[in-house]
């Protein structure tokens, strides 16, 4: 009778590993982004801005859909930042953080008109992310978040449904 040994390798989410390695930087960015009144969302790809507050990059221009039908175009990220009342240097700091840690998206809900939920900030890669709830409310799995686990005070690791 021989001894059989099995090894089980569990792949850890790179974003969760990044949070563990750079917790202080996440805390700083969370507080910094929360303090920006005009920031709602920012997406980057390969260090380039892809989306600013709903303005999506399309063929070297940025497109916004107004009232679900009308489209408006701006020629550059700088024009979008100016339209949205956002400082270019501030956004460059956020883009550098996201790019350095391979994060694709930051999303903020801070008791603004379009945000119906209590305040939070999310850092996301594909369908998984880190979420900080400012009100201390627990993030629970539901129709959108298929997985939600507390990792540290008010910080949650989640995965979304692809639908």
pLDDT in tens, 131-143: 999 888 889 888 8
Give the pair of three-digit tokens for residue 83. 């339209």
Give the pair of three-digit tokens for residue 121. 């900030």
Q: How far is CA 139 from the centre of its chain?
A: 16
pLDDT at 22: 93
- Please give the Cα distance from 81 to 95 (Å, whole number): 13
Reported as a pLDDT band with limits 50, 70 and 90, residue 10 is: very low
Contact call for residues 95 and 44 (beta carbons, < 8 A):
yes
- Please give the Cα distance from 74 to 63 (Å, whole number): 7
More confident residue, 69 or 99: 99
More confident residue, 60 or 67: 60
Whether 87 shows a pLDDT value over 70: the answer reads yes
Q: 109: which residues sit within 8 A by CB, 6+ positions away? A: 115, 117, 118, 119, 120, 121
Reported as a pLDDT band with limits 50, 70 and 90, residue 4 is: low
Task: Give the count of beta carbons closer than 10 Å to the beta carbon of residue 118.
Answer: 13
pLDDT at 6: 53
Contact call for residues 101 and 22 (beta carbons, < 8 A):
yes
pLDDT at 114: 59
More confident residue, 13 or 32: 32
- Please give the Cα distance from 158 to 160 (Å, whole number): 7
Average predicted confidence (pLDDT) for the chain: 86
pLDDT in tens, 16-64: 889 999 999 999 999 999 888 888 899 998 878 899 999 999 888 999 9
Whether 113 shows a pLDDT value over 80: the answer reads no
């Amino acid at each position: 009778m021989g001894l059989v040994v099995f090894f089980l390798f569990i792949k850890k989410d790179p974003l969760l590993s990044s949070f563990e390695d750079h917790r202080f930087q996440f805390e700083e960015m969370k507080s910094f982004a929360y303090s920006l009144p005009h920031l709602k969302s920012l997406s980057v790809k390969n260090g380039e801005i892809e989306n600013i507050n709903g303005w999506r990059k399309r063929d070297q221009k940025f497109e916004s859909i107004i009232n679900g039908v009308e489209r408006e175009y701006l020629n550059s990220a700088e024009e979008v930042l100016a339209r949205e009342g956002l400082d270019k240097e501030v956004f460059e700091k956020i883009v550098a953080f996201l790019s350095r840690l391979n994060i694709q998206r930051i999303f903020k809900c801070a008791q603004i008109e379009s945000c119906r939920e209590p305040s939070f900030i999310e850092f996301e890669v594909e369908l998984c992310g880190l979420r900080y709830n400012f009100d201390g409310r627990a993030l629970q799995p539901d129709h959108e978040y298929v997985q939600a686990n507390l990792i540290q005070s008010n910080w949650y690791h989640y995965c979304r449904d692809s639908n």
